Structure 1
Amino acid sequence: MTNAVLAPALPGFASRTPGALIGTAALVRWFEEGHDLAPVWDHLVARLDTDPADAAALMDMSTLLLIRKARRKGEAAQAAALDLQRHYRRSYNGGGGVRLLAFVTAGDLMANTPLDFLLTGSDFDLHLFYVDKDTASLDAVPDHDVAIVAVGESPENQAVLLRLSDLLQDWPTPVVNGPPLRIAAMTRDRVCALFADTPSVLAPATRRIDRQTLLDIARGDLRLERAMPGISFPIIVRPIASHAGEGLEKIDDTATLLVYLLERGEPDFFLSPFIDYRSADGMFRKQRIAFIDGKAYPSHGATSAHWMVHYVNASMRHYPERRAEEAAFMEGFDRDFAVRHAAAFTVLAERIGLDYFAIDSAELPDGRLLLFEADVAMVIHDADCARTFPYKKPAMHRLFAAFQRAIAARCGVEQRQPKLESSAA
């Protein structure tokens, strides 16, 4: 495949602007559409051969590796890029619009707010500025109209968010999703505590527990009910730092718990009661919903026969009836799902208190909204095949446009109609 073919499909492919990225969104779409990534990789290698200090090429290589699940290699390429440069950029549809400065940090594809997707169709100029717990100052940031704290909550990012909290004191431009300590407070246990007294939301009690205590429970030396009053088997256990279901297991008894611990080496875990949220037909349904300035927008609705629902393992592309259900959910969201859960949405927006965040949720038979988690870095995208999921892009582009309007409003700019035909841009 020639560069002449790749360049129109991958914005930034032929750019020679220092720090200009192809970007996560274009690379994920290219991959999901079934294209060969080898020519893109070869192009990036050739760029590095020409200029070993081409940090943007290294950063795009990191993204390709992370897309292919080569996490260690991807993180190594990312670290090499950050050793060279901390500032990267993306311009959408030629740029010239709002200049958005995003504070991001090193990590995988779920470490930061998915801005490259959320800005699809805009004319924004996005500046990604990487920070860590040792960042001394922000004097080197570029000129911008508005900033956003895009670092997601995780144990690794707690110190980063704390440092950002100090650095952003008296910041001269509007800051979306500030102060950073609001994001730092979005740990699983703290989010659950926020909604403990909320009639419209069930956020199962989630508690931290160390490995030794879990081993004592598994061996019968300590009763679960004594260690965790109010919680009994079956339970859900996951490592503190896990996301996307990694290390997440339903544990029915002490024997199963012991086997789980023999297979996991982490020192600390989250523990919560298992809530059977299956519908009357025996299927499990999970919704991902984004909140923008307090208004809810659907991202996906997955249906599965298994209690642990992720969009990939739900095999939605193989079940037309599940896709038809998702299409109805997304197209009728404002007049159906959002109406039923209006009270829950209001309290979620008020208590979390961020300009942008997303949740994973389910509907319980008694009408409550079951809250699994909330974060600013959940994957929100429009990369599903348009032939198989024709309803997805219109819904996602409405979400993207709402996000862009919200950002533009912070600096007194009226955002123009997005160029949705340029979804790769």
Structure 2
Amino acid sequence: MQPDFEAPIATAKLPCADRIGFARLTTMAFNGTDLRPLRDELISKVAGGTADAGEGLDLSLIAQLLGDKPTGLAIQAEVLAFHQLFRSPCAAEQPKLRVLALAASIDMGGNTPIEFLLEDSAIELLTLYVVAGVPLPVPLPDHDIAIVIASDSEECRDALRIIDQAAAGWPRPMLNPPRLVANLDRDKLHNLLRGIKGLDIPATVSVTRAQLSDASRPDPKSDLLLADVAPELRFPLIVRPRGSHAGVGLARIDGPAAIDRYLAERAEQEFFVSRFVDYANDDGLFRKYRIVVIDGRPYACHMAIADRWDIWYLNANMAFSAGKRLEEESFMRDFETAFAGRHQDALAAMAERVGLDYFTIDCAENKRGDLLIFEADNTAVVHNMDSPDLFPYKPPQMRKIFDAFAAMLYRRSRPGREQAA
């Protein structure tokens, strides 16, 4: 049963489990480090009864990075059943600020990867996992400012609900409140943003497997079957399993027969569908952008260029094309006057409606020049792992983002309070 948080509650220094952490382990995997020896070492400690909670959570992440998601989540569930508070590595021996991140028990892509944003700062990061059936600690861990890093997904519903119940009495400023995070899932975002001038966001509809299968019937009026689900839906359409990340299960469906082929390869029971938008430029290439919005201001994060519509940064092969990298560099250098300038009003209106202190936008430009929105969320990876030799323009841009995020935390933390004592 949750405690009553209507009145402001106290904080205290509580035991934390130290971690290697998300940023360091993910960077090791990104750089090709073999994580299996570390995995085996941690497994031995678990078997011998000498592993602490931080090592257990690191082992969970390593398993996921090695492709064994079920094992990773099982380990995570075991760890979080007895310990929920963790400390990430901090660059400063005497931190200037202490941030409490409120996370959900979900796979490694389901919470904001906030460690990347704070990795080289003088800010200490504590992460409190909010788990169904486990009350929030009273008093809460001592902190200067809190931020919700759980996502708008089914797996995070309980965590968001628990945090929301406590929000009114939270003793410190809370960024990204759960009531606003809960507007970001694909089927809700369209309703939130529709009507913004200069912004194109296709309606995304949640459908069951049975509904999708019905639309595969060999009927010349099959478009009408889709329209029964949502008036905007027509072939070709985009389909993906509900809750999937990073393009898993994403496909273009050009007609009814393709639905059967798609479902034959998928076991999921719920899907998101939306209309397909051809956003290729005159040169036949697709350009997809990631924008970071911090305290209402947009920043360039990356630009991916490819000859395929289902593009994200890794499959664009940016590392193998000097021309693509030069274009991305120009995008970052001229962002404020060029891209952000063209879409200033649409971006400002979007930031106001979303209302979050920190979120990301995956977008493009349609053939009319409007800002085409694919997704907005609070959990996309914003990092500085790319090689500075290949991408010398990226570290300064990432530093600009990280500094802006840290500055927001300092600015929004309670004035006059003794911080990170």
TM-score (norm 1): 0.89
Contact 1:129 1:141 in 2 (8 A): no
What displacement does 1:336 show? 1.5
Aligned-partner residue type, residue 125 of structure 2: L
Aligned-partner residue type, residue 233 of structure 1: F
Contact 1:98 1:125 in 2 (8 A): yes
1:342 maps to what in 2?
Answer: 344
User: Which of 260-269 and 290-299 deviates more?
Assistant: 260-269
1:24 maps to what in 2?
Answer: 22
2:60 maps to what in 1?
Answer: 62
What displacement does 1:199 show? 1.9
Aligned-partner residue type, residue 118 of structure 1: L
2:11 maps to what in 1?
Answer: none
Among 178, 181, 186, the alignment partner of 2:179 is: 181
Contact 2:130 2:136 in 1 (8 A): no
**Aligned counterparts of 2:139 and 2:249: Cα–Cα separation in 1:** 39
User: Which of 361-370 and 44-53 deviates more?
Assistant: 44-53
Contact 1:209 1:270 in 2 (8 A): yes
2:212 maps to what in 1?
Answer: 214
Report SS of the residue matched to 1:157.
helix
**Aligned counterparts of 2:326 and 2:297: Cα–Cα separation in 1:** 24
2:138 is the alignment partner of 1:139: yes
Contact 1:330 1:395 in 2 (8 A): yes
2:76 is the alignment partner of 1:78: yes
Contact 1:323 1:389 in 2 (8 A): yes
2:349 is the alignment partner of 1:379: no
Aligned-partner residue type, residue 103 of structure 1: L
Aligned-partner residue type, residue 392 of structure 2: P
Aligned-partner residue type, residue 104 of structure 1: A
Among 179, 195, 199, the alignment partner of 1:201 is: 199
Aligned-partner residue type, residue 294 of structure 2: I
Report SS of the residue matched to 1:313.
helix
Aligned-partner residue type, residue 375 of structure 2: E
Report SS of the residue matched to 2:135.
coil
**Structure 2 CA distance for partners of 1:275 and 1:139, relative to 1, 3 Å:** same
What displacement does 1:225 show? 3.0
Contact 1:91 1:124 in 2 (8 A): no
**Structure 2 CA distance for partners of 1:354 and 1:312, relative to 1, 3 Å:** same
2:93 is the alignment partner of 1:98: no
Could you give the per-residue CA deviations for residues 221-244 of structure 1, whole angstroms, max 9, x where no partner exists? Answer: 653234432321100111121121
What displacement does 1:51 show? 4.8
1:319 maps to what in 2?
Answer: 321
Contact 1:288 1:298 in 2 (8 A): yes
**Aligned counterparts of 1:140 and 1:385: Cα–Cα separation in 2:** 43
Report SS of the residue matched to 1:22.
coil
2:7 maps to what in 1?
Answer: none
User: Which of 92-101 and 267-276 deviates more?
Assistant: 92-101
**Structure 2 CA distance for partners of 1:74 and 1:225, relative to 1, 3 Å:** same
**Structure 2 CA distance for partners of 1:119 and 1:95, relative to 1, 3 Å:** farther
1:165 maps to what in 2?
Answer: 164
% same residue: 38
Matches within 5 A, 1:347-362: 347-362=349-364
What displacement does 1:45 show? 4.2
1:10 maps to what in 2?
Answer: none
Report SS of the residue matched to 1:323.
helix
What displacement does 1:365 show? 2.7
**Aligned counterparts of 1:49 and 1:160: Cα–Cα separation in 2:** 30
**Aligned counterparts of 1:95 and 1:62: Cα–Cα separation in 2:** 29
Could you give the per-residue CA deviations for residues 90-114 of structure 1, whole angstroms, max 9, x where no partner exists? Answer: 2421242111111101222211111
**Aligned counterparts of 1:87 and 1:345: Cα–Cα separation in 2:** 36
What displacement does 1:129 show? 0.4
User: Which of 155-164 and 215-224 deviates more?
Assistant: 215-224
**Structure 2 CA distance for partners of 1:52 and 1:290, relative to 1, 3 Å:** same
Could you give the per-residue CA deviations for residues 332-389 of structure 1, whole angstroms, max 9, x where no partner exists? Answer: 2122211111011101110000101101000123121000011111111111122222
**Aligned counterparts of 2:243 and 2:16: Cα–Cα separation in 1:** 34
1:418 maps to what in 2?
Answer: none
**Aligned counterparts of 2:30 and 2:368: Cα–Cα separation in 1:** 38
**Aligned counterparts of 1:398 and 1:333: Cα–Cα separation in 2:** 13
**Aligned counterparts of 2:194 and 2:32: Cα–Cα separation in 1:** 44
Matches within 5 A, 1:194-273: 194-220=192-218, 223-273=225-275
Aligned-partner residue type, residue 215 of structure 1: S
Aligned-partner residue type, residue 56 of structure 2: L
Report SS of the residue matched to 2:384.
coil
Contact 1:138 1:167 in 2 (8 A): no
1:9 maps to what in 2?
Answer: none
TM-score (norm 2): 0.89
2:151 is the alignment partner of 1:152: yes
What displacement does 1:32 show? 2.2
Contact 2:17 2:53 in 1 (8 A): yes
Structure 2: tracts of 5 or more residues without a match:
1-14, 417-421
1:35 maps to what in 2?
Answer: 33
1:12 maps to what in 2?
Answer: none
Report SS of the residue matched to 1:272.
strand
2:408 maps to what in 1?
Answer: 406
Report SS of the residue matched to 2:81.
helix
**Aligned counterparts of 1:385 and 1:331: Cα–Cα separation in 2:** 18
Alignment length (residue pairs) = 397
**Aligned counterparts of 1:362 and 1:202: Cα–Cα separation in 2:** 10
**Aligned counterparts of 2:248 and 2:129: Cα–Cα separation in 1:** 26
**Aligned counterparts of 2:278 and 2:31: Cα–Cα separation in 1:** 35
Report SS of the residue matched to 2:17.
coil
Aligned-partner residue type, residue 55 of structure 1: A
What displacement does 1:401 show? 0.8
User: Which of 221-230 and 166-175 deviates more?
Assistant: 221-230
